[in-house]
Amino acid sequence: MRVAIITESFPPDINGVAHCVLRVAELLTSYGHHPLVIAPQPPGSRREERSFPFPVVRVPAAPLPGYPSFRLGLPSRRVRAALIRHQAEVVHLASPVFLGAHGAAVARRLGLPAVAVYQTDLPSYARAYRLGRAGETFAWRWLRGIHNGAARTLAPSTVTATGLLGQGIGNVWLWGRGVDTRRFDPAKRSQELHAALLANTGAAQGELLVGYVGRLATEKRVELLAGITALAGVRLVIVGAGPAEAMLRQHMPDAIFLGERRGEELAAIYASLDVFVHSGPYETFGQTLQEAAASGLPVVAPAAGGPLDLVADGVTGYLVPPSDPGAFTTAVARLAADPAARAAFGAAGRRSVLSRSWPALTEELIGHYAAVLGARAAKVRI
C-alpha cells in the first residue's frame, strides 16, 4: 500500500503528533508498505531527508506567532508533486490544520481518498488563548471543512469522537495510540537517578518525586500544579520546554525543571518517579499518561477528554476536576501518604496498557486505509 502522510509536525519536533507519525511510518515500512511523509521544514534542514527508512519531503514553513519553536507548513506545489511522484493510493492527514487543509484539497483534486486523524483540539486552544467565541466558532468551521471532506475521521478517545459528531463532523471512527511497553518499563527505575534529582534541590533522600512530562504552553495549564511544591516530603519534576517555561519557573521556583528529554533517558526518568501528574484539560488523548502507566506509575489527571479513557479512577490513579489546582494537590497528597495505593495503581496501570502496542494500533490503521480504498473501488465500479 502506498500511503502519503501529510503532517503538521514531525521530528525534530517533540510532541504527540510528531511521535505518532514517526512510529506509524516506521511500522508501515517494516510491514512492507510504502509510506511517504510530507512535513514542515525545520530551520536549516534540507528539502528531502534520507535519515529515515522512508522518504520525507519538507515544505516551506513559518514560525507560529508567540510560539516560534512550532513551525506552520505552508501551501506548496511540492505537496502535489510529491503525491504524484510517490504514486500515493491513500492520504493520511495527521492532525490537519494548515498544511493538512492544503493537503486535503490536493488529494481531492487528484481523486485520492483521505483518512483524517483528529489529534489537536484547536477550538479549545482558541479558548485557552482567549480568542473568544468567534475564534472557537471559526476553528470548528475550519475543521468541519477538512474532516467532512475526508473518507473518514479517526478520533483518539470516546469523548473526542462524541464531541466531533456533536459539531457536525461525520463518519467518525475510534483509533487510539500505541505505547512502547519495552521502552517504558518499571524495570528501568534507577535509585541513583531518583537520588540525583532530589540532590539537585537539597531535598531529603526519602522524599517522593511527582513528575509532569509535556510541552510547557498555555493550554497545558502546568501552573495548576504549583500547590504540589508545598507538600511536605514531595518534589515536583517538570520535563519539557515551551513558551510558558519562564513564567512557570517564576511561578514554581521549588520545582525541578529538566528541559526536554528523549529516548532511554526519558524512559529512566519516568520509571524513577513515584507519581505522574498531567494538568492539561484539552487533551484529545494523553500519550504521556500511557507512557507513565507503562512505567508503573500511579497517575493524576483531569476528568476531561482523553484521560477519561486512559485513567480508571481509583484503580490506576485519580481523575480530578479540570482546572482545579486544589484537586491536583489533594490527589497527589493522598498518593504520597499511601504507598500501598501507589504500588497497586502503578501495577494496574502497567497491565492496562500491555495490549496497546504500536504494532496493534498500526494494524488497526491499515484496516482503515483498506476500508476507504475498498469504498473508493466500489464507487468506481458503480
332, HSE (Cβ side, Cα atoms, 13 Å): 32
Determine the Cα–Cα distance for residues 165 and 274; give it in Å rounded to an integer. Answer: 38
Task: Say whether 379 sits in a helix, a strand or coil.
Answer: helix
Q: Which of 338, 241, 246, 318 is nearest to 278 (CA)?
A: 318
CB 58 within 8 A of CB 39: yes
- Contact status, residue 236 vs residue 278, Cβ threshold 8 Å: no
Cell 480568542, residue? 131
Residues 277 and 214: beta-carbon distance below 8 Å:
no
Distance CA 363, CA 361 (A): 5
- Concatenated DSSP letters of 204-254: -TT-EEEEEES--SGGG-GGGGGGGGGSTTEEEEEE---TTHHHHHHH-TT
What pLDDT is stored for residue 170 in this prediction? 95
Integer Cα distance of 13 and 51 in angstroms? 15
For residue 185 the three cell numbers come to: 518499563
Q: In 10 A of CB 347, how many CB atoms?
A: 14
Q: State the alpha helices, DSSP H only, in the chain.
A: 16-30, 77-86, 99-110, 122-128, 132-147, 158-166, 191-199, 245-251, 263-272, 287-294, 307-310, 325-336, 339-353, 358-381
Tens-place pLDDT, residues 251-310: 999 999 999 999 999 999 999 999 999 999 999 999 999 999 999 999 999 999 999 999
| Spatial distance between the Cα atoms of 86 and 4, rounded to a whole number of angstroms | 8
Cα(70)–Cα(10) distance, integer angstroms: 10
**What residue ranges of the chain have pLDDT lower than 70?**
44-50, 66-69, 200-205, 377-382
Put the strands of the sheet holding 56-59 in their side by side order: 48-49, 56-59, 34-40, 2-7, 90-94, 114-117, 152-155, 172-174
Q: How far apart are CA 5 and CA 38, in angstroms?
A: 6
Q: What is d(CA 178, CA 175) in angstroms, rounded to the nearest whole number? A: 10
- Determine the Cα–Cα distance for residues 330 and 318; give it in Å rounded to an integer: 10
3-class SS of residue 105: helix
pLDDT of residue 267: 97
Give the per-residue pLDDT at 87: 98
Helix (H, G, I), strand (E, B) or coil at 369: helix
What Å distances lie between residue 119 and 20, 123, 306, CA to CA?
10, 12, 10
What's the number of CA atoms in the CB half-sphere (13 Å) around residue 60? Answer: 5
Q: Rounded CA gap, 118 and 157, in Å?
A: 10
146 CB-near residues (< 8 Å, 6+ apart): 93, 96, 97, 100, 101, 104, 116
